[in-house]
Structure 1
Amino acid sequence: MRPAELPPRPGAGGAEDPEQTSRSLQEEVVELARTLPGPLRRLTVRSGDRAVEVEWAAEVLLPAAGAAPPAGLQALAPVPAAEPAAAPEVPEGTVAVRAPLVGTFYLAPSPGSEPFVRVGDEVESGQTLGIVEAMKLMNPIVADAAGMVAEVRVGDAESVEYDQVLFLLHPPGGPR
């Protein structure tokens, strides 16, 4: 279905109760999710400046040959499953510091500045280890516990995903 073929939303173009609009949008999203092929892994909807993100599980299976595809979809070949991403291994005796959001990772507060930390540095709980920029906001990445920086897993200005391991720390008193 092309956007021009979609029926107008109720109340489009006129003043409507924001609560009713939100409820209507929620119903439309649920209806959309039910018509999508395969099991969903994640469905995100934002209302301000509107955004819809859909992420499928590892493999999306479309109808078998000869079967009609769901409304609005053209018949496509099955999408092969992506290689399962091996969860970054966290060696025993280390603590992982993970990205709390998707964005661009920076090791230093500004270009040309010294990095917040280097491998071998002792850090305290709450100390800033790096920054993840997301939507022009700088989000500090802090140590959850004291320790020594054992490994920096991402480079400066690299894109990072949610829950990606950024640093490995050796807890105090642990093996080095």
Structure 2
Amino acid sequence: MTVEVKHEARRDRITLIGDGAAADPVADLAALCRSVAELARTTARPPRRIRLEHLGTAVEVEWPAEQQADTAAPPAPDAPPEAGTARHVRAPMVGTFFRSPEPGAPPFVAVGDTVAVGQPIGILEVMKMMSPVEADTAGRVVEILVEDGAPVEFQQRLIAVEPA
């Protein structure tokens, strides 16, 4: 497959256009999705829009313009907590949230557990790809906000953590 990359700087957009001539379309789609997810995760601002097509191989990632970035940004992480105030670990992308590493296994965390920054608290499945969800604050889990196997939205609260 050949892919053309067009970076439209004045429109804050990256477009990938392929010829659809893939030897293994399923593997190409999986690789494409991984690349887009990684790109979205590593940028300073989350994308405003991600558009994927499959057999024609078109991917478009668009970020808000600088002047719109403040007004269109997703909810910011919770403010520095006061004593007894919980912070929330949020979904880094849209997908299905799983509390356990595999069916029948104990959950990564439960109410009352202590978590450290970077500790896995669940798994997010996006198009058959599993990505760990990690705690971004240390403390005690005070509430699980999403059921196992539930669909979640970008920046949706998953668990509440009372900072240590």
TM-score by length of 1: 0.51
Give the number of the structure whose alpha-carbon radius of gyration is greater. Answer: 1
Which structure 2 residues correspond to residues 1-176 of structure 1 after superposition, within 5 A? 18=4, 22=6, 42-46=48-52, 49-50=57-58, 93-172=85-164
Q: Match of 2:146, SS?
A: coil
Q: CA RMSD of the aligned region, Å?
A: 3.5
* Pairwise CA distance, 1:160: 0.4
SS state at 1:170 partner: strand
Q: 1:135 to 1:123 in 2, by over 3 A?
A: same
Structure 1 CA distance, aligned partners of 2:7 and 2:88?
A: 40
> Equivalent pairs: percent with the same residue?
41
Which residues of structure 1 form unaligned runs of 5+? 1-15, 30-41, 54-86
Deviations 1:108-166 (A, max 9, x none): 00000000010011111111100101122111111112100011100000000000000
Q: Which has the higher strand share?
A: 2
Q: Which amino acid aligns with 2:50?
A: T
Q: Map Cα deviations across residues 95-120 of structure 1 (whole Å, 9 max, x no partner).
A: 11000000000000000000001001
Q: What is the total number of aligned residue pairs between the two structures? A: 108
Structure 2: gaps spanning 5 or more residues: 14-47, 62-74
Q: In the aligned structure 2, how far is the partner of 1:154 from the partner of 1:23?
A: 37
The residue aligned with 1:62 is none
TM-score by length of 2: 0.54
Moved more, 120-129 or 106-115: 120-129
